[in-house]
Amino acid sequence: MNTLLWAPSAWLPQGWAADVRIEVDALGMIASVQAQASADGAERLDGPAIPGMSNVHSHAFQRAMAGLTGTSGPQADHFWSWRACMYRFLERLTPDDIEVIATQLYIEMLQAGYTSVGEFHYLHHDADGAPYADPAETSRRIVQAAAASGIGLTLMPVLYRHGGFGGEEPAEAQRRFICDPDQYARIAQAVAGLERCTLGFAPHSLRAVTPEELNGLLKLRAQLAPTAPVHIHAAEQLGEVDDCVFWSGLRPVEWLMWNAPLDEHWCLVHATQMRELEAAALASRGAVVGLCPSTEADLGDGLFNAEPYRLAGGRIGIGGDSHVGVDPFAELRLFEYGQRLQRRRRNLFASAPQQSVGAALYRAALAGGAQALGQPVGAIAVGRRADLVVLDTRDPALIEQSGDRLFDAAIFGPTRHPVRQVMVSGRWCVREGVHAGAERSIAAYRAVLRRLLV
């Protein structure tokens, strides 16, 4: 039986409309959308409706690390010292822990307005580096966490083979990540057979896979899911760029442009250290850059070279990565503010006079996120999944705001609780700002942290 919803206003592909009636079919897909329609027989929404946001890049287990790396070390702190802390933390994680942490994270995402997530999942083996009896044990735990929370999932098992460019031997601390091609194929094949998730492929980075191994992964993709998303870390750190040039004579994005079949199915995560010509060339391929502003700021990565990329028509999505922040509006604010600080100008993401920067940012991240995750999301439109966020106009920052000013207020204003209701695939996950499973999840999460943080 179809479900009928009625919103006093809704942000449709053509812009804001009033009195919008939305029909959702039994599979959770939008069957019809009608503006200036009657509310008779429909469930009335408690505020303006916008499409839910995609989080294109997640390492769920790192949610439990937030706050653990804020103490300065004896030497300069940077990405590589943070990574050493991460390795120590994950030594104690069990599959049960991974599921509990991921469930808590996904509930937090939903309450913040994310309705789908791309899980870049590389924690495959036990604490000794040995495969579990089921090679996809931890991948299944991620799927179970997504099902428990209700979030839409693209699961990307990660191929992680080496500790550095040119096939360098991995470090002992990386033993839980390392897969040979046969192990990786078994994990990907298992994930391909699972319900409630979309399969993606993730060569970790050019430092972690050789060209031959990257080609092998792409051949496996061609067999299992030829149009599946492909995500890869690229050009996040200056040290990574220098090492890539030493190895190949090319910068990471340059190498991928020359040696990989980059197209609209690819997402390059971070791409922080990208020159203007690289940015324009990447934009021409139709790939998405997965930006993670709060994590990139936390790690001291630097600022994405957005202006030439945007002017060339480049596509972006936003992600949480290590989840020091779980808020799509805050990620977009930090992205725009970083560009303002770099360029010493305001409202940089606007492409026309009198355009709402907040709405332009949100629209770009919606489109790029849907593309990067390979999910039918990102718009309140026929044929898209019924992933809706109802804004809470009781939040002081949103009071008396309407139309595109809602986006400007939610992104650039002092909002605390801008989200009132969240629907994924036609099912309510969040009402009055709270997920139905939040209390149970936080109790389990507390117990995990109590053991891990002793």
**Tens digit of pLDDT for each residue in 225-257?**
999 999 999 999 999 999 999 999 999 999 999
pLDDT bracket for residue 431 (50, 70, 90): very high
Residue 82 has pLDDT above 70, yes or no: no
Tell me the average pLDDT across 124-149: 96
Tell me the average pLDDT across 104-112: 98
Residue 80 has pLDDT above 60, yes or no: no
Tell me the average pLDDT across 83-107: 87
Residue 86 has pLDDT above 90, yes or no: no
Tell me the average pLDDT across 105-114: 98
Per-residue CA distances from 54 to 14, 37, 291 (Å): 20, 29, 12
Picking from 327, 332, 386, the residue whose alpha carbon sits closest to that of residue 356 is: 332
pLDDT for the residue numbered 268 = 98
**Tens digit of pLDDT for each residue in 363-396?**
999 999 999 999 999 999 999 999 999 999 999 9
How distant is the alpha carbon of residue 239 from its chain centre? 24
DSSP symbol at 61:
G
pLDDT for the residue numbered 83 = 64
Q: Which residues are catalytic?
A: 270, 321
Picking from 18, 14, 55, the residue whose alpha carbon sits closest to that of residue 381 is: 14
Mean pLDDT of the chain: 94
Instruction: State what percent of residues in the chain have pLDDT above 90.
Output: 88
Parallel/antiparallel/unpaired status of strands 3-12 and 198-199: unpaired
C-alpha–C-alpha distance, residues 333 and 327, integer Å: 10
pLDDT for the residue numbered 207 = 97
pLDDT for the residue numbered 324 = 94
Instruction: State what percent of residues in the chain have pLDDT above 70.
Output: 96
C-alpha–C-alpha distance, residues 422 and 387, integer Å: 7
**Tens digit of pLDDT for each residue in 159-182?**
999 999 999 999 888 999 999 999
Phi and psi for 51 in degrees, rounded to 5? Answer: -70, 145
Residue 38 has pLDDT above 90, yes or no: yes
**Tens digit of pLDDT for each residue in 46-71?**
999 999 999 999 999 999 888 766 55
Tell me the average pLDDT across 7-28: 98
Picking from 237, 343, 342, the residue whose alpha carbon sits closest to that of residue 299 is: 237
